[in-house]
Amino acid sequence: MSAFPVFCFISLFLASFQLAVLVKAAENTQNAGVYIVYTGSPSSSSSNSDHIMSSSSIESHAFSGFAVRLSEEEAKLIAQRPEVISVFPDTVHHLHTTRSWDFLKEQSVVGLAPRLQVAKPSNRTSSVSGEDVIIGIFDTGIWLEAKSFNDAGLGPNPKKWKGKCIPGRDFKPFNCNRKLIGARNYFTFGKSTSPRNHDGHGTHVAAIAAGRPVAVASYHGLARGTAQGGAPGARIAVYRVCQDEYDCPGSATLKAFDDAIADGVDVINLSFGQYIMDSFLDDPISIGAFHAVENGILVVGSAGNGGADPEPPTIQNVAPWILTVGATTIDRFFESDVVLGNNKVIKGGGVHSAKLRKTPSHPLTDGSSAMKPDADIAEAMNCYRNALHEKKVKGKIVLCEDSLDTSPAGQYEDIKFLGGIGMLYKDNYVLLVDSVSDSMPRIPISWEDGDQIPSYINWTRKPVATILPTKVVANHTPAPTVAYFSGKGPIYDNDYLIKPDIVAPGVDILSAWPSNETNEAFNILSGTSMACPHVSGVAALVKSRYPSWNPSAIKSAIMTTANPNNNLKKPIGTHFGDGGDPYYIGAGEVTVTGPLQPGLVYETEIADYLLFLCNKGHDVARIKLISSKLPANFSCPSNATEESIPDMNYPSIIVPNFNALGQQKKVKRTVTNVGEEESSYVASVETSFTNNVIVRVNPGKLQFTKNTKKLSYEVTFRHNSSIMYGSAIGSITWSNSKYSVRIPFIVT
């Protein structure tokens, strides 16, 4: 086997010696690449194999497969074997890079979700800080010395924990404690030979989910306060599957899933991903997540940071068994104002620690004024390094366009290289998502304000400006707003599922950081990577209160109690002006207290997920190999089709291709009562385009008793107009005097 950091559970029993010999022979094949061969659950693999294909003696726990170097022809040949579900390249995933928790708590009780005014958390069961729940963090590792991971006051490790603290470079077993109870690393080369995190991403994510309270936290004195994760009592198990934010091999991810299942984690946080372009059975994350959910582990995945792309797909981690999280702003805004020599003040974003003079006395220029004689004007205005004259940039604040295929981070490095002392760039969307810079500020401003600066430069003999110190603006409105970068629906080649499922704070989030890399023990980052652990923290709270709940019940509790409105009591919007669209917000913004008392839950069974694969056209023989807990008589319906997917018992509904007058579609849902035994709920419907789509719920009332825990209802959608523009969006809510259980729908 190759020394590639593979699927280290390669100790698998293959179904035939012939296959084993074929794979072994491929090791020396020229022009070979690394492929993952997925063979399903261990119980579905042949038990009479007398050959172990492995590079180590590491045991496989929950599912089977291996990684190996193969030519394309050899990969196709292996894929034809009946015991093989899929063969696919070992893809590399990218990471999706404290006020947020207080903001979520406030949003939970300000009247935006009526039930929460009445239903307050009780103390009848375990407390709500996540005690004895284990969150598996799949990321770049952890900086264990961060104060957020101290174990003061925590009891012994949960009895269910079977994991390890594996040593590595600068990391010893005794570095783990009762907070950080496990650490694994999946790389054996370069600097990545330890669970220790240097780039900060994994540390930041872990502390958002489950960091202990740390008083007087700040970033360069900004955002002062107590930093704390959502589930401070939860334990953390770290699985270093990423060398850095651009290198998270699928083979390492699959091995981590297998280990985490055996270790006994309750929630897996996955702040990276990829787009599903072909098959859920060719995606390492989808495969690993399925086996985790089958074993009772909730998998929370970030929606990706491609939301600014005008063409789908922009959303990642879209398998229905994953809880997919988009990113929003909070009600705190960092402002760095620009003052011109004519005393005009321009509102800017960004967080910086520069020490510029407070009076406008620094030279100011723009790309066109600093261009080389033979340079392209567009490239100069967009601050391409080769288009700018160093002498005209050095010592100056420089205004850059953002109209070509440029990156503010790349422009920043170019200006810094040429000796600039500050950078301004025009971008309406980025303005609300602060960039964090060091001694040279990087300040986004609006296009409207940015268009005024060249006039000042051209009509002034010595244009000057300054960038004022960053200040914190509290109670910012509207909030939350969906971040411009947050991955959004629809899903590529899948019109029958709404993603993301939910949104959470992911803009300007303060959290722990490796203190040896900077002088700061905290840092501010933005990304769906930061939104994801907010939901993982809430999931840990729910799991702590209801240890027997399955992943779909926890997922439903989080989605059905989400808040669809902002702090102005209007639908959550986006930077693009849209409001309330489930393709952007899913069910809404996660709440902290709501999921602890959801009233009703929508349980999605493993068989439902396998039927989903049937309806997506997957072969039933291969589907049977996936699950170790499927009834022997399982089969795909003879009429399996994507049009049946809306009937999956999921806490959202989508009805696509609804374009004919009189067309009608019926969708069934089943709810489980987890509140008072004797209780009744009444249905209500909210929708847009009421003249085009009529929505009816039958029955309109659900009556639960001691002996009746589950009840079903049917939703009928009927097209009532000859023309339907866009989509009809709305929600179905079951409510009584205490609970309000809401799911969104889209009719396209």
CB 536 within 8 A of CB 226: no
Burial of 293 (0-12, 13-18, 19+ CB in 10 A): buried
Cα 84 to its chain centre, rounded Å, is 30
What letter does residue 595 receive in the DSSP assignment?
Answer: G
Q: Is the torsion defined by CA of 593, 596, 599, 603 positive or negative?
A: positive
Report the run of H or E that residue 272 belongs to, with start and end.
strand 272-273
**Cα 672 to Cα 712: distance, rounded to the nearest angstrom:** 9
**Cα 71 to Cα 283: distance, rounded to the nearest angstrom:** 19
**Cα 333 to Cα 220: distance, rounded to the nearest angstrom:** 15
CB 603 within 8 A of CB 556: yes
From the list 55, 194, 526, 529, the catalytic residue is: 529
User: Residue 124, SS3?
Assistant: coil
Q: Spell 154-184 as b/e; 16+ CB within 10 A means b.
A: beebeeebebebbbbeebeeebbbebbbbbb
SS (HEC) of 335-400: ECCEEECCCCEECCCCECCCCCCCCCCEEEEECCCCECCCCCHHHHHCCCHHHECHHHHCCCEEEE
Measured CA angle at 201 (ends 4, 203), to 5 deg: 105
- Nearest by Cα to 621 from 258, 81, 66: 81
- One-letter identity of residue 51: H
Residue with tokens 């089969």: 635
From the list 90, 132, 139, 434, the catalytic residue is: 139
**Cα 131 to Cα 547: distance, rounded to the nearest angstrom:** 11
Catalytic site residue 529? yes
- One-letter identity of residue 502: I
Cα 400 to its chain centre, rounded Å, is 31
CB 149 within 8 A of CB 206: yes
**Cα 262 to Cα 244: distance, rounded to the nearest angstrom:** 25
Number of H helices and E strands in the chain, helices first, is: 17, 39
Catalytic site residue 139? yes
Name residues whose C-beta falls within 8 Å of residue 365's C-beta, 6 or more positions apart in sequence. Answer: 392, 393, 396, 397, 398, 399, 457, 463
Q: Which residues, listed in sequence order, are joined to residue 712 by a DSSP beta bridge?
A: 670
CB 554 within 8 A of CB 672: no
Residues in the chain: 748
- Nearest by Cα to 549 from 495, 513, 597: 597
Whole-number Cα distances in Å, 689 to 446, 663, 695, 729: 34, 16, 11, 8
**Cα 66 to Cα 250: distance, rounded to the nearest angstrom:** 11
- Give the CA dihedral 308, 423, 471, 460, nearest 10 degrees: -120
**Cα 100 to Cα 629: distance, rounded to the nearest angstrom:** 39
- Tell me: cis bond preceding 500? Omega within 30 of 0 counts: yes
From the list 94, 96, 198, 201, the catalytic residue is: 201
User: Residue 262, SS3?
Assistant: helix
**Cα 460 to Cα 452: distance, rounded to the nearest angstrom:** 13
Catalytic site residue 201? yes
The catalytic residue positions are 139, 201, 529
